[in-house]
Chain A
Amino acid sequence: NAGVTQTPKFQVLKTGQSMTLQCAQDMNHEYMSWYRQDPGMGLRLIHYSVGAGITDQGEVPNGYNVSRSTTEDFPLRLLSAAPSQTSVYFCASSYSWGGGTYEKLFFGSGTQLSVL
Chain B
Amino acid sequence: DQQVKQNSPSLSVQEGRISILNCDYTNSMFDYFLWYKKYPAEGPTFLISISSIKDKNEDGRFTVFLNKSAKHLSLHIVPSQPGDSAVYFCAARSGANNLFFGTGTRLTVIP
Contact = CB atoms under 8 A, between A and B. Distances in A.
Given A40-B103, A43-B89, A109 B49 contact: no
Closest 8 CB pairs of A and B: A98-B96, A107-B43, A43-B101, A104-B46, A42-B101, A42-B103, A107-B44, A102-B32
Given A59-B98, A90-B44, 4 more contacts: A42-B102, A45-B99, A107-B45, A109-B42
A74 to B, nearest CB: 14
Interface in B4-26: 4, 6
Contacts of B32: 102
A94 B108 CA distance: 29
A109 B43 contact: yes
B103 A105 contact: no
A66 interface: no
